Amino acid sequence: MDNSYFRVLIVDDMSVNRLVLSSILATQGILSDQAESGKECIALCEEKDYDLILLDHRMPDMDGVDTLVELKKLFSERGRDVPVICHTTADGKENVNLYKAAGFADVLIKPIEPREFFDVIMMHLPAKKEEEEPVLKLPEDSRELSMSKEELEQELSKLPVSLKVVPHIDLIRGIVNCGGAEDYMDALYIFHSSCAEKSGEIEDFFTKEEWTMLGLKVHSLKSLARLVGAEELGEMAAALEKAAHEGNLSIIRRETAPFLKTYRAFAESLTPFAEEEQLEQMAEQVETAINHRPKEEPEADKSRSILFVRGNQGIVKKGIEQHLISAGFEVVSIADEPADIIAHRRDADIILYYPGDRDNSTIDITMNLLGEISQDDAKLLCLTGDTVDLRTALNANGAHRVSRTYPRPVDIRKFVKDMKKFSRLEREYHRRKTIFVVDDDKTYLSVIEHWLSPSYNVSCFYRWERLIEGLRAVTPNLILMDYEMPGMNGCQLMKKISACFPGTRIPVIFLTGKNDRQDVFKILENKPDGYLLKTSQKGTILDVINRYFSETMFRRSL
């Protein structure tokens, strides 16, 4: 059965939880959408039909039961019965029967054991999904195309004619995966440049009958082929990888030669494009050398600035402003008008909202906007004012991003002390971070370094021994780690790092091509800080990394 015909909605206010659940679903080709609140869940269900909903119980605006009640009304109006599974903390173990009595189809307790999770959802998904037309099958961890039709057409127009006549290539998939035409062309150029070395290695391992190494090399090529939209080559690589993993020598001996022929022929078809790309890159280097283009100035430090969003002017608000200014902060004071907030969203890294003398609807609108800005731009959000206004604000959508509340009368000494602490956190967050990437595929390392280096200090290692050496010199903020590598897999390497550097906690996000159920379970059981497939779009990878750093800072502020 083709699981891509199913669509599941994951509802959880923690993005890490949503990422883990969606990754497990993706290993079986099951598409998923994500919502971070009960209100967003209802809105999505009004727009789309889902086969199953995974609903967190403890959420800030509407809890799981309240959301379930609204969902049941919606499904009743449409004449549908969609199973809703509750996933909740260990505290909910004693209330499993109550959850089921409330109407949940089943209950899963966090931390969710991957095997149990998959068994439960497969039990509740319909036996067969009837569709008039197949659902578009996207990369495994993608929920939907990240570009509109017009944007795709614009990006396609940037591609040279030499690329548009290449057979057996999905240009749209490649553009979407890489985040745009320019990055896609860079990835294709790297892919073409590595063909001679990679195909030679595969042929050498085949001749020497080193099947494990052959499987590793084909595995890395599979991920890169899918990334650039070479679907036929990717499928052939996946079949050969499986044969190597299972020790099926008859398939290996029969299929390796046709695979290499297809690989080399595809790379050869890219030669006219690669030659044009090389000339263009040389021209850009010459132009840069002639013009001596200065580097862009780093963005100004806004960690000592506070955006003070106020309901109106008043003596209390003026007093807060004066204390902040005396403590060395720059205060940008604006009215709680959406247009003003959007216009000044870049002026400060800390937002202070005083919702005084406003009706509930105005507070709701303001909180929703401030919550979105705080999450998208990694800002810290605080509230001050009368207790009744703070209660209204904390019941609004966006309240989950609030770090502190300061009810009147405000303890100015503690308030200023907290602002200084938040300023240090924001300054640390915006400091250029260091990421180590370890992968035995040098070609993929080139691609990921190209994607990350504009925003991070990136060091790449193609052997685990080199990574350990690098860690002795520098402690990075994050490690992106492949799973299947010669000599030591990713999970073993995590344990090796812990043994070599006791007491040092270095976050690890797996970035791997392994998406079979057994290996994914092994990875998740080691409790990494994230899990991504190499076929992830560029935007997805950058978003997960950015959100990881943002949410880490946000948790430290609580």
Q: Which of 138-147, 241-250, 318-327 has the lowest mean pLDDT?
A: 138-147
Q: Which of 294-303, 349-358, 549-558 has the lowest mean pLDDT?
A: 294-303
Q: What is the CATH number of the domain that holds 89?
A: 3.40.50.2300
Count of Cβ atoms closer than 10 Å to residue 380 Cβ: 27
Amino acid 191 reads: F
Residues 180 and 285 in one domain: yes
Number of domains within the chain: 4
**Mean pLDDT, residues 73-83:** 87
Asked which of 291, 323, 357 is the last residue of a domain, the reply is 291
Query: Residue 224 has what pLDDT?
Result: 86
- 253: pLDDT strictly greater than 90: yes
The tens digit of pLDDT for each residue in 15-32 reads: 777 777 777 776 666 777
Residues 207 and 221 in one domain: yes
Residues 278 and 316 in one domain: no
Q: Which among 212, 201, 218 has a CA at the least distance from the CA of 255?
A: 218
**Mean pLDDT, residues 497-526:** 83
Is residue 144 assigned to a domain?
Answer: no
Query: Residue 119 has what pLDDT?
Result: 79
Amino acid 448 reads: I
Asked which of 91, 109, 124 is the last residue of a domain, the reply is 124
Residues 231 and 260 in one domain: yes
Is residue 129 assigned to a domain?
Answer: no
Is residue 157 assigned to a domain?
Answer: no
Amino acid 429 reads: Y
Is residue 164 assigned to a domain?
Answer: no
Is residue 138 assigned to a domain?
Answer: no
Residues 425 and 447 in one domain: no
Residues 323 and 269 in one domain: no
Residues 419 and 475 in one domain: no
Residues 422 and 310 in one domain: yes
> Which residue's entry shows tokens 């991504």?
532
Is residue 222 assigned to a domain?
Answer: yes
Is the link from the previous residue into 502 a cis peptide, with omega within 30 of 0?
Answer: no
Residues 243 and 261 in one domain: yes
Question: Would you report the helix, strand and coil content of the chain in percent, each value rounded to 5?
Answer: 55, 15, 30
Query: Residue 281 has what pLDDT?
Result: 59
Sequence-distant (6+) residues with CB within 8 A of 514 are: 219, 483, 484, 520, 523
Which domain does 367 fall in, by range? 305-430
CB 399 within 8 A of CB 373: no
Residues 366 and 444 in one domain: no
Is residue 110 assigned to a domain?
Answer: yes
Count of Cβ atoms closer than 10 Å to residue 90 Cβ: 9
290 pLDDT tier (thresholds 50, 70, 90): very low
Q: For the chain, give the percent of residues with pLDDT over 70.
A: 86
CB 307 within 8 A of CB 324: no
Cα–Cα distance, 197 to 538 (Å, whole number): 25
Query: Residue 492 has what pLDDT?
Result: 92
Q: What is the mean pLDDT of the chain?
A: 83
Residues 441 and 553 in one domain: yes
Q: Which of 85-89, 230-234, 266-270 has the lowest mean pLDDT?
A: 85-89
Cα–Cα distance, 274 to 277 (Å, whole number): 5
273 pLDDT tier (thresholds 50, 70, 90): confident
Residues 174 and 287 in one domain: yes
Is residue 160 assigned to a domain?
Answer: no
Amino acid 332 reads: V
Strand partners, 34: 10
What's the pTM? 0.61
Asked which of 403, 430, 457 is the last residue of a domain, the reply is 430
What the block records as the tokens of 333 is 């004071």
